[in-house]
Chain A
Amino acid sequence: DTGVSQDPRHKITKRGQNVTFRCDPISEHNRLYWYRQTLGQGPEFLTYFQNEAQLEKSRLLSDRFSAERPKGSFSTLEIQRTEQGDSAMYLCASSWRQGNEQFFGPGTRLTVL
């Protein structure tokens, strides 16, 4: 069990560019979550997958955001036409099907210039 991994750990981009983040959950976990954390705040829920199905999306997830989990394993989060307000830490978590504990990855810190 190597834990949840995220790539890249840091991303600096210019406003208007597209970025994509990857999350690899713990291998036996079929539930995957994305959160966003801004400075001085707790993580805020963005979206949730059970296997490859995206079952819930937060209102925080605007049309510029899209998440996929094509084979029910790793997931990607893409932000199109980035804005300075997108600067944040993006956290991924995974959990067991019947479990309630989420295991978090180290996060991807996005800076939009």
Chain B
Amino acid sequence: AQSVTQPDIHITVSEGASLELRCNYSYGATPYLFWYVQSPGQGLQLLLKYFSGDTLVQGIKGFEAEFKRSQSSFNLRKPSVHWSDAAEYFCAVGQGGGYQKVTFGTGTKLQVIP
């Protein structure tokens, strides 16, 4: 069965500082990996996704993530955090193909301080 671990429940960073959110997955085949962001009271917005090809994936809002098969990781990064990035971030793994049963991690809540 597929699973996702996000080891950090809360992270606090200063505005302008760099950010890295950790994600480790468990899946038997080549995974389909996603990062979503959720603002309070809102649905989830896709930041980026990895299906195949280049292991460094660029997303929206200046985010990027790197797929490392040897470490079963898909960490999310941003070089300079803005106050508007404060939200909850979810890493997810999917089965692939035309059908996507997506399994989410428990999320990392990001706080940005001035």
Contact = CB atoms under 8 A, between A and B. Distances in A.
Chains A and B form a bound pair: yes
Contact of B99 (A4, A50, A105): A50
Given A100-B32, A100-B49, A100-B51, A42 B43 contact: no
Contact of B101 (A50, A56, A101): A56
Interface string A66-103: 00000000000000000000000001010101101111
B45 A45 contact: no
A45 B100 CA distance: 10
B45 A100 contact: no
B11 interface: no
A102 B44 CA distance: 10
A101 B43 contact: no
A42 B99 contact: no
Contact of B49 (A33, A48, A91, A101): A101
A104 B45 contact: yes
Contact of B43 (A50, A95, A106): A106
A85 to B, nearest CB: 18
A45 B51 CA distance: 20
Contact of A100 (B4, B36, B94): B94
B44 A41 contact: no
Contacts of A42: 4, 90, 92, 104-107
Given A42-B92, A50-B99, A55-B99, A104 B43 contact: yes
A107 interface: yes
A29 B41 CA distance: 24
Nearest to B100: A100
Interface of B: 4, 32, 34, 36, 41-46, 49, 51, 90, 92, 94, 96-107
Given A100-B32, A102-B46, 4 more contacts: A42-B92, A43-B90, A104-B44, A106-B42
